Amino acid sequence: MVEQKERELVLKELAVERNLGLTQEEASERLETYGRNEFEESKKKTKIQMFLSQLRDPMIYILGAAVLISAFLGEYSDSLIIVAVILLNAVIGMVQESKAEQSLEALKKMSSPNALVRRGGKNLEVPAADLVPGDIVILEAGRIVPADMRLIETVNLKIEESALTGESVPVDKDASFVAEGDVTLGDRINMAYMSTSASYGRGEGVVTATGMNTEIGKIASMINNTADEMTPLQKRLADLGKMLGILAVLLCAALFAIAVIQDRNIIDMMLTAISLAVAAIPEGLPAVVTIVLALGVQRMVKVNTIVRKLPAVETLGAVSVVCSDKTGTLTQNKMTAVRLYVPGSMKDVSADALAELSGSESGNENDEFGRKYEDLIKGFIYCTDAEVNGENRIGDPTELALIDLGINIGMEKSVILAKAPRINEQAFDSDRKMMTTVQKDAESGKITAYTKGAVDRMIGRCTSVLDSAGSGSIRPITKEDIAEIERAALEMAKDALRVLALAVKYDDDSASEESLVFMGLVGMIDPPRPEAKDAIRVFDGASVKTVMITGDHKDTAFAIAKELGIASDISQCITGDELNDMTQEELNGIVSGLRVFARVSPENKVMIVNAFRSHGDIVSMTGDGVNDAPSLKSADIGVAMGITGTDVAKGAADMVLMDDNFATIKSAIEEGRNIYANIKKSVLFLLSSNLGEIMTMFTAILVGLAAPLKAIHILWVNLITDSLPALALGVDTGDKDAMRKPPRDPKESLFAHGGYVITILFGLLIGAITLIAFIFIPVYELRAQGTAVTLANIDAMLDNEFIYLKSQTYAFTVLGISQLFNAIGMRNLDRSVFTMNPFNNRMMIIAVVAGFLLQIAVTEIPFFENVFDAAELSLSEWLTLTALSTAPIWLHEIVVLVRRLSGRRVSAQ
């Protein structure tokens, strides 16, 4: 490991001299050996490959066979319609899949286009892609690190690594540091990594890894190697497709067996077999599911969520674990001063407290107290190099936090600097861990020096203290003072605050850092998002675990987690170092008791996601940094931040939060639960309708009657009459109590909670009333003739071409209209249709009216009559058939009554 080696040894191993660098010849040779400093791309599917992959489905195979048989028998209209259905579903799937991942392209954009290197003793700007191991790279504030490198010189160098490690503040780098043993990425302070940026100071480093061998390259490789898995709904629909495919084959086989036994015409039976195969396949289902998900995506936009992958919408409803990055997701990714201390007093810098401080000139007994805090804030602001001009924020996050604190009480840096300009300074460096500025009052000429820095370094240099009692006089510092200051600093540190001390020195313009007067302390933290706590509480009520994953230190992570309600005990926290000593199986065994993962690497994050998934959990991972990308892609649902999120994170995610609001995930999960519930309604509705078609066809053939329906009739009902109500069910109003229930089991069947019974009941009923409609005219004619009503006589009556045409039209009409009434009841199986508000789902009203009009068109418009081999119906016939078609409504009322009574019995027990 490079971080464990002295810099001189690294230079020797890479065969390069620091002052000369590589020659152009050496660089060219190494470029041939190591390759360009770029990322490899995974081979992407072509549009044709995407299209063909949509055809690998059991339902499509059955329909394909139906096309060939129909064409062979000369039924070209049926063939064309089935081909259109297959092509429509394939195109919809291809369009969705063609939204290719942009992760690697985003990673490329993050790479520095140029780098300042030393070659042949000269400093040159070269394309970052041309860097090779052994190149000497010069870093300065504002530059992107172009490759992984071992630092060989650092002068107050700070590097912003939050996108890679999750560390919320820039890291002080030290070229002289040598790691002892394995250390986490964030603790390798002698290394600089590709895609991070220098925020302060300068330095030099020797390139140790390029392209796919860099840390960011390893992330790119992890993204490439993460297989896309099917969502729970996709798995259920795939299982359903296999089941229906097998059913269609069995029905066709049974039909041929019946044909042989009954000595029927084989050609007629082949046509009937096609009708049965078509009846077994809900052709509109893929399109309905896709459109419902797409409409769900549109609704998601209203709650500030962009869904990049359609299936992610329904997967949200099954999420049982939300793994969230801390920095920028649960927290604001903005260091904020939250606590102040002056000798004898500590104050939370809340909105109320700031209001009190800003009004401290009122002359009351708190004037001196307020003035001391204002003086402390003013001193901290003087001792900063950061700048804030509106939206432009430049400088170290901790200094920006101090300036923000001043702004909050009406103290602008530019204003106080105008009154007391800086005349001397001693810049911060990582050895002293202090900074000093000297200010001269423009009016009085009074000189005051301010020094801020780490508490342990400052206390030893303070000989006096600014007494908080009386008039704020200066007195010698005592052991008791030092103990009190250390207690205050420790109290802040326990709450994971970053603590800085401030001291002052009067009438000395030398910027000396000896014999200082202690003024006070400030505690800063990247604070939790206020809305995140409420969201986590809602998740608890919905049986969804919230887990924090961060690159920050364990104490910092736990303090935030405790405040948010994620963890209650430090034993629920674990570090990346501990994870590195575990196998995946060992982590799987203990992960249920863990809520906070601190100081973790990108590999650790993927390991954590996989551990929760090993318990059957559906895992959502939220994040905004490059380091989150692999885990975003490996999770069931990857959620990236839209504002602060890197392009890499967005590219790897399934959905993006436009407002960076953790609480938006709550709304998205609620929407996902309701969408799944609606899709389930649509599936049960379509399958009960299909079962009705199967029962109609199979029963009629079994008892020796002619086929009640043609293939084109079933296709019309499945694609047109059924699809509109199915879509209406898919956009039905959601359950207000959705987030008060536990997530569904991802292995749960679409038929769970009585789905099989509902499908069979309504399927049998629809089949029965369709058969009644089919035999209505023959039975009526037989009775009118005084002839016995037997199956043989009914079949003989159907030999009459006109009666057969009329009977098929009756069956076709009842089948289509009954589906509309079936859809109305499917909205809610726990409520009577007569207590539902129809205007809560206007789409259903449109679907029912449109369904009626389309069915009427089939029998009343000559062109459609010819296409569908249908007969014209009179008004009285329409009224009779419509009355018969309302049967699903009455069955719905019986189901509601039974469920209600059984519910009462259960609750009574």
Catalytic positions are 325
Q: How far is CA 185 from CA 124, 215, 560, 584, 604, in A?
A: 29, 9, 22, 20, 11
Residue 578 burial by Cβ neighbours in a 10 Å radius (0-12, 13-18, 19+):
middle
- Looking up tokens 């490996």, which residue turns up? 634
- Looking up tokens 């989150």, which residue turns up? 628
Length of the chain: 909
CA 239 to chain centre: 25
Q: Please compute, for residue 344, the number of CA atoms within 13 A of its CA located in the half-sphere on the CB side.
A: 10
Extract the tokens encoding 873: 């119906």
Strand partners, 436: 426, 451
d(CA 869, CA 387): 80
**Longest alpha-carbon distance in the chain:** 126
- Looking up tokens 């939220």, which residue turns up? 622
Question: Strand 321-325 relative to strand 545-549: parallel, antiparallel, unpaired?
Answer: parallel
- Contact by Cβ (8 Å): 644, 346: no
Question: Strand 619-623 relative to strand 321-325: parallel, antiparallel, unpaired?
Answer: parallel
- Contact by Cβ (8 Å): 323, 591: no
Question: How would DSSP label each residue in 686-728?
Answer: HHHHHHHHHHHHHHHHHTTPPPSS-HHHHHHIIIIITHHHHHH
- Contact by Cβ (8 Å): 692, 762: yes
Q: At 381, is the secondary structure helix, strand, or coil?
A: helix
Phi, psi of 435 (to 5 degrees): -145, 140
Question: Strand 447-453 relative to strand 462-466: parallel, antiparallel, unpaired?
Answer: unpaired
d(CA 852, CA 724): 11
- Looking up tokens 């924020």, which residue turns up? 393
Q: How far is CA 653 from CA 103, 219, 688, in A?
A: 9, 14, 36
Phi, psi of 125 (to 5 degrees): -90, 120
d(CA 803, CA 77): 24
d(CA 246, CA 835): 40
d(CA 592, CA 796): 70
d(CA 680, CA 685): 8
Angle at 43 between CA 38 and CA 49, to 5 degrees: 155
d(CA 40, CA 224): 9
- Contact by Cβ (8 Å): 335, 398: yes
d(CA 127, CA 146): 9
Q: At 362, is the secondary structure helix, strand, or coil?
A: coil
